[in-house]
Amino acid sequence: MLFLVGLAVAVAVVLNGSVREPAQRRDLPDTATGIAPMSTEATKYDRVDAGGYEIAFTRAGRGPAVVLIHGIPTHSYLWRGVVPPLVAAGLEVITLDLLGYGASDKPAEADLGIKAQSRFLVQALRALNWSGGTLVGHDIGGGIAQLIAVEHPEVTTRLVLVDSIVYDSFPEPGIARLKDPAWDDILGAPGFDLKKGLIKGFKRGMVHGDRITSEMIDCYERPFRGVEGRRAYLRAARALRTEELSSQMDAVEKLKLPTLVVWGSEDVFQPVKSGEHLAHTMPNGQFEVIQQAGHFLPEDAPETLARHIALFATSASKLST
């Protein structure tokens, strides 16, 4: 989970919806290229209704379905290096921006905790006529994927957790401290530079610092740009509640669906041992460590991660035929 620390952190829900027409797409500038399909053109986000809010998504490829769920404070841009290899491997790939993140709506009144997010995503997937497949979650996205697997077993056939929150490992102290009311004034200051905090967080969370470019930081900062954007980030961070996952871990450990737990060997935000413990506790869990990679595995080693996901998802397809 990204820490915005240093320099004052320099930093009734209905299960039916409708997909908005392509004219409702929201384009990001050219620096956000690379998702569904990867190209030099701006990413095109379609939008789907989930409980009265719009969730931004991309969809590419044909074949067994894979859904990619990001964490905090990223969005679908996180998967730009993972999507093309998955599509090339014969998979259909859907990326979703969590409510309050990326190009999705950022309502002031909505619950943005992982339990509520799991409900919103299930609604979005059902609105997309998604018949089930592999759920992949990074960071808090992994926690959301765990809750979906427990509460909606019909939605997923396999689970991939990438440097995920597990047990009581969240919110990390650097995120938890943002619940202090003082941060309203700090992040609300007109001159506050969120990019400095993002750079610091990615430097801590990645091994390959050469991959941290100004374009990358700009793309991650853009959804939270300006005073209102930073307030949206505070709402997302403050909504994270430990008990929403920790109270369900007995059920998660008993999940029988095949589960791949993948960790960067140098993750300083989520303990490698926690992921290994969960994988070895689950009846059909397996654990993989990717060397020379940190918490932001989709940034540090996207091709290697994609190979793991593709092999896992396609083997699931073969077993089911």
Token pair for 160: 């991939």
pLDDT over 80 (residue 37): no
What strand order describes the sheet that includes 156-164? 26-27, 44-50, 53-60, 92-96, 65-69, 133-139, 156-164, 259-264, 285-290
Residue 33's pLDDT band (cuts 50, 70, 90): very low
pLDDT on residue 315: 85
The 10s digit of each residue's pLDDT in 97-109 is: 999 999 999 999 9
pLDDT over 80 (residue 284): yes
124 Cβ contact list (under 8 Å, min separation 6): 17, 48, 50, 55, 57, 96
Q: What is the mean pLDDT of residues 173-191?
A: 92
Topology at the third CATH level for domain 22-320? Rossmann fold (3.40.50)
Residue 44's pLDDT band (cuts 50, 70, 90): confident
Which of 14, 17, 36 has its CA nearest to residue 124?
17
DSSP strands (E only) in the chain: 26-27, 44-50, 53-60, 65-69, 92-96, 133-139, 156-164, 259-264, 285-290
Higher pLDDT, 139 or 35: 139
- Computed over every residue of the chain, the mean pLDDT equals 87
The 10s digit of each residue's pLDDT in 136-156 is: 999 999 999 999 999 999 999
pLDDT over 70 (residue 171): yes
pLDDT over 90 (residue 258): yes
pLDDT on residue 316: 55
CB 272 within 8 A of CB 209: no
pLDDT over 90 (residue 73): yes
Distance from C-alpha of 37 to C-alpha of 56, rounded to nearest angstrom: 15
61 Cβ contact list (under 8 Å, min separation 6): 86, 87, 90, 91, 92, 93
What residue spans define the domains of the chain?
Answer: 22-320
Distance from C-alpha of 112 to C-alpha of 98, rounded to nearest angstrom: 8
Q: What is the mean pLDDT of residues 26-39?
A: 34
Burial 183-206 (b: 16+ CB within 10 A, else e): beebbeeeebebbbbbbbbbebbb
pLDDT on residue 134: 98
Q: What is the mean pLDDT of residues 161-174?
A: 94
Higher pLDDT, 117 or 4: 117
Residue 43's pLDDT band (cuts 50, 70, 90): low
pLDDT over 60 (residue 217): yes
pLDDT over 70 (residue 191): yes
The 10s digit of each residue's pLDDT in 2-21 is: 444 333 333 322 233 333 33
pLDDT on residue 180: 96
Residue 216's pLDDT band (cuts 50, 70, 90): very high
Q: Where are the alpha helices (DSSP H) in 108-248?
A: 114-127, 140-151, 173-176, 182-188, 194-205, 214-221, 226-238, 243-246
